[in-house]
Structure 1
């Protein structure tokens, strides 16, 4: 009897220790409830960005001529997607990743950085968000690798979530295999029907006009579908234009 009691007490002690060591499960947050901003934002945008790296060249590249060259794809940034950021004035804002000082990046969520800021895209009034992003996806699928001498290594749409309003695409340079990251996103608190955009090189200082040419090609295709899409105006970006010798 005494031995049985000791075994029972030992079993209860083990169960209690296991319960103490296990982390509590995270409940699914209710969007209508009051959550800390960071937790709510992580729930909204978390897991959207694909972290898988391309093992080989994209299938839609324009040539195999430079396959024997070492490729410098660079690491994928860990902070892509919609998140709480800090402006140049150290003020918090919700948006896509900003740009560094190099003239190889554009983002529409950093209005206080005129050297890198571009206007958001505006979808037509007759579409809701989901329909607009499905249309945007189709436009992106029709992108022409090698247009204007850029992105000859092809591209791949890595993430699409029309309901949340987010698309992530990777584009590759033909010769050296540089990978550029391009994002399109609906940001809470921004004007209605607006799609924030970011296009950036991973490595290097100059981009020789690649990001500007890419965004302008996409913007032109969207305008043909009834969108308001200004793209990159070289006259309002003299630093980018001069340093990249455009």
Structure 2
């Protein structure tokens, strides 16, 4: 676990917002307004409980993932890279008012991520939209 890094202490939902992305390009967030970090939230038409359960099921089906924190409207999981064990922190916040799930995916270490965080969220979105 040489490249795991320390778990950030700024994660979670604060006043309806996930933590902002750092200036580095190795983070995406649906609540970010700049083009480098912005990604669309997940949208759903099912019951909110079904939507967050679907996200949980998708996370659990993916390799090298571990759910760290879970509540009725929030999921936080760690995703580990296959080769060197880099850890990314991935969060999902269920916004019942807008029928969206806000997302944030950030690398713990390094600067660039070669688009891995964006690709991960888009892969999760593709599976989510098939449900």
Report the TM-score, using the length of structure 1 for normalisation.
0.50
Which of 113, 119, 122 is matched with 2:40 structurally?
Answer: 119
Q: Quick check: which has more Rg, 1 or 2? A: 1
Which of 204, 226, 229 is matched with 2:110 structurally?
Answer: 204
Contact in 2 for aligned 1:172/1:179 (Cα 8 Å): yes
The yes-or-no answer on 1:179 pairing with 2:87 is yes
- Please give the alpha-carbon distance, in whole angstroms, between the structure 2 residues aligned to 1:198 and 1:156: 16
Contact in 2 for aligned 1:99/1:106 (Cα 8 Å): yes
Q: CA deviation at 1:187?
A: 4.3
- Cα distance per residue 1:96-121 (max 9 Å; x no partner): 0111121110001122x221011111
Aligned to 1:139: 58
Give 1 or 2: higher helix fraction: 1
Q: CA deviation at 1:175?
A: 2.6
The yes-or-no answer on 1:106 pairing with 2:28 is yes
Contact in 2 for aligned 1:170/1:179 (Cα 8 Å): yes
Residues 110/209 of structure 1: CA separation in 2 closer, same or farther (3 Å cut): closer
Contact in 2 for aligned 1:82/1:187 (Cα 8 Å): no
Secondary structure at the counterpart of residue 24 of structure 2: coil
The yes-or-no answer on 1:158 pairing with 2:68 is yes
Contact in 1 for aligned 2:52/2:94 (Cα 8 Å): no
Aligned to 1:242: none
- Please give the alpha-carbon distance, in whole angstroms, between the structure 1 residues aligned to 2:4 and 2:41: 27
Where has structure 1 moved over 2 Å in runs of 4 or more? none
Q: Which has the higher contact order (CA 8 A, sep 6+)?
A: 2
Q: CA deviation at 1:223?
A: 1.3
Q: CA deviation at 1:207?
A: 0.8
The yes-or-no answer on 1:83 pairing with 2:5 is no
Unaligned 5+ runs, structure 2: none
- Please give the alpha-carbon distance, in whole angstroms, between the structure 1 residues aligned to 2:61 and 2:82: 18
Contact in 2 for aligned 1:159/1:169 (Cα 8 Å): yes
Q: Please provide the CA RMSD for this pair.
A: 1.7
